[in-house]
Amino acid sequence: MTYEELMNKAIEVSKNSYSPYSKFSVGACALTESGKIYCGCNFENSSFGMTICAERNAIGSAIADGERKIKAVAIYSPNQDNCLPCGACRQVMHEFSSNDKEFDVIVKNGKELKIYKLIQLLPEGFNL
Ligand code: THU
């Protein structure tokens, strides 16, 4: 699975976004260390705080399937170039990453992919 393919899956799932309130669609696709992929989109609620981000939806599906180690997440929004994960999603990525210095967060910048390391986006993630 190349990062182009991972991004294409994120683009595809962003079309299922349920975002009638913000009208901001997001799709995400997580790649596990075992090579499996899990996609998710954002879904909102009339009680706004219950909204679930695309990244957490994708990672939640991986967890529900018994996966625990994620190594990359591609994120796409048709509404914004370079759509980066919110702080909450960065912390969730940190929870399921073996190494934040290796974990790739892939976004789309025009036609190009831009790759960040999780450590850049969340330098001091919380641990218990
Ligand atoms: N959203 C995501 O899906 N991922 C993020 O990392 C940031 C925000 C969603 C939540 C909400 O449905 C919409 O984008 C606007 O905030």
Q: According to the model, what pLDDT value does residue 67 have?
A: 98
128 residues of the chain, pLDDT tens digit each: 999 999 999 999 999 999 999 999 999 999 999 999 999 999 999 999 999 999 999 999 999 999 999 999 999 999 999 999 999 999 999 999 999 999 999 999 999 999 999 999 999 999 99
Q: According to the model, what pLDDT value does residue 92 have?
A: 98
Whose tokens are 């994620």? That residue is 70
Domain ranges of the chain: 3-121
Decide: 91 in ligand 1 pocket, CB within 6 A. no
| DSSP codes of every residue in 9-52 | HHHHHHTT-B-TTT----EEEEEETTS-EEEEE-B--SSGGG-B
Atom of ligand 1 lying closest to residue 85 CA: 6
Instruction: Specify whether domain 3-121 bears CATH 3.40.140.10.
Output: yes
**3-state SS assignment for residue 54:** helix
Q: Whose CA is nearest to atom 9 of ligand 1?
A: 53
What spacing in Å lies between the alpha carbon of 41 and ligand 1's midpoint? 9
| pTM for this prediction | 0.98
